[in-house]
Amino acid sequence: MKTGFIGLGIMGRPMAKNLLKAGMDLMVADLNKDAVAEVTAYGATEGTYAEIGAQCERIILMVPSGAISKSILFGQDGVASTIQKGSIVCDMSSVTPGESRECYEQLKSIGVDFLDAPVSGGEPGAVNATLAIMAGGEPEVFEKMQPYFSILGSSALLIGGPGSGSVTKLANQIIVNNTIAAISEAFVLAAKAGADPEKVYQAIRGGLAGSTVLDMKAPKILSRDFTPGGTLVINQKDMKNVLNAAHELDVPVPYSAQLYEIMQYLKVHGHIRDDHSGIVQYFEDLADVTVCSPEKYKE
């Protein structure tokens, strides 16, 4: 069975490679031809959206936004223009629940199944195939995609009907991004007070403040390594999705709203392509202090 994979960015590229390593027959597409060349060198073939629709029974999307997903699927010469009945489209992008449900309904009307299955774990999770996959859709469709999920991640759970995976990803992003902001604020306080931030991290990581987010992002802050595993531009888009979905449901999200504006500040100051651990730079600017390990400070 031939599988289509569209979207070869920071996350999509290693995900596609992992499918190839597992022996999948993969046809790929991306606007970045260097990324396409890299993945085809691993054994994939390149195809247009229409060719992927015509030739692939399983099609995975991993793109930056719901608008892009819909354009790839339903635009002129898009996947839906040639897709065969009984095929499955699995959108693993981070989009709004409404966008996922819209894709579900449009594809269902032409006899094609759809699953929203966004992921958590960032670039390391994509590279190491340890992504957490949260899915929304019909149980039988989820079961058909399980062989792919077992290659790409360490866990996959069907949350509920269409859009449920996207809702779960929004909840995940609220927790992850606001936790990074809290970590940033705490380490700026410690640094301004003259404490060694490396020792502060080691002291608190085994207690109640310890978390996967702390262990992934504190070392990047301390080493001043803002090379993106998850860019601020993508996470700001996710927080905008949070705000839009929350407003539709009349759910106040004051922390997330403030964090969106913090990310806007970082965008204005040229940091939007940094890893989201770069949120610390906002708090550093407020306090006029830099958080880093003593060794990094000596440099």
**For residue 105, what pLDDT is reported?**
97
Which two tokens mark 20?
Answer: 């190839």
Range of the domain at 233: 167-298
Does one domain contain both 226 and 269? yes
Question: Of 161, 194, 214, which one is at a domain's C-terminal end?
Answer: 161
Domain count across the chain: 2
- Residues 6 or more apart from 204 whose CB is under 8 A from it? 210, 214
Indicate whether 157 and 171 sit together in one domain.
Answer: no
Domain shared by 130 and 67, yes or no: yes
Is-contact 289 192, C-beta < 8 A? Answer: yes
Question: One digit per residue, pLDDT tens: the chain, 299 residues?
Answer: 899 999 999 999 999 999 999 999 999 999 999 999 999 999 999 999 999 999 999 999 999 999 999 999 999 999 999 999 999 999 999 999 999 999 999 999 999 999 999 999 888 899 999 999 999 999 999 999 999 999 999 999 999 999 999 999 999 999 999 999 999 999 999 999 999 999 999 999 999 999 999 999 999 999 999 998 788 998 999 999 999 999 999 999 999 999 999 999 999 999 999 999 999 999 999 999 999 876 655 45
pLDDT for the residue numbered 235: 93
Last residue of a domain, one of 161, 185, 207: 161
Whether residues 20 and 142 fall in one domain: yes
- Does 190 share its domain with 107? no
Mark whether 156 and 174 lie in a shared domain.
no
Do 105 and 246 lie in a common domain?
no
Which CATH number is 123's domain given? 3.40.50.720
- What angle is formed at CA 27 by the lines to CA 166 and CA 5, rounded to 5 degrees? 10
Same domain membership, residue 83 and residue 37: yes
3 state SS of 147: helix
| CB of 258 closer than 8 Å to CB of 279 | no
Closest to 106 (Cα-Cα) out of 73, 139, 65: 73
For residue 295, give every residue at least 6 positions away whose Cβ sits within 8 Å of its Cβ, in sequence order, or none. none
- 138 plus 230 within the same structural domain: no
155 and 195 part of one domain: no
- Do residues 116 and 136 make contact, with C-beta atoms less than 8 angstroms apart? yes
Tell whether pTM > 0.75. yes
- Beta carbons within 10 angstroms of residue 240's beta carbon: 16
Statement to judge: residues 246 and 274 lie in one domain: yes
Q: Which residues are catalytic?
A: 169
CB burial of 190-203 (b: ≥16 within 10 Å; e: otherwise) equals: bbeeeeebbebbee
Cβ atoms of 160 and 135 closer than 8 Å: no
Domain's final residue, options 117, 137, 161: 161
The verdict on 157 and 195 lying in the same domain is no
**Long-range contact pairs involving 204-213 (C-beta distance under 8 Å, separation at least 24):** 211/179, 213/175, 213/176, 213/179, 213/180, 213/183
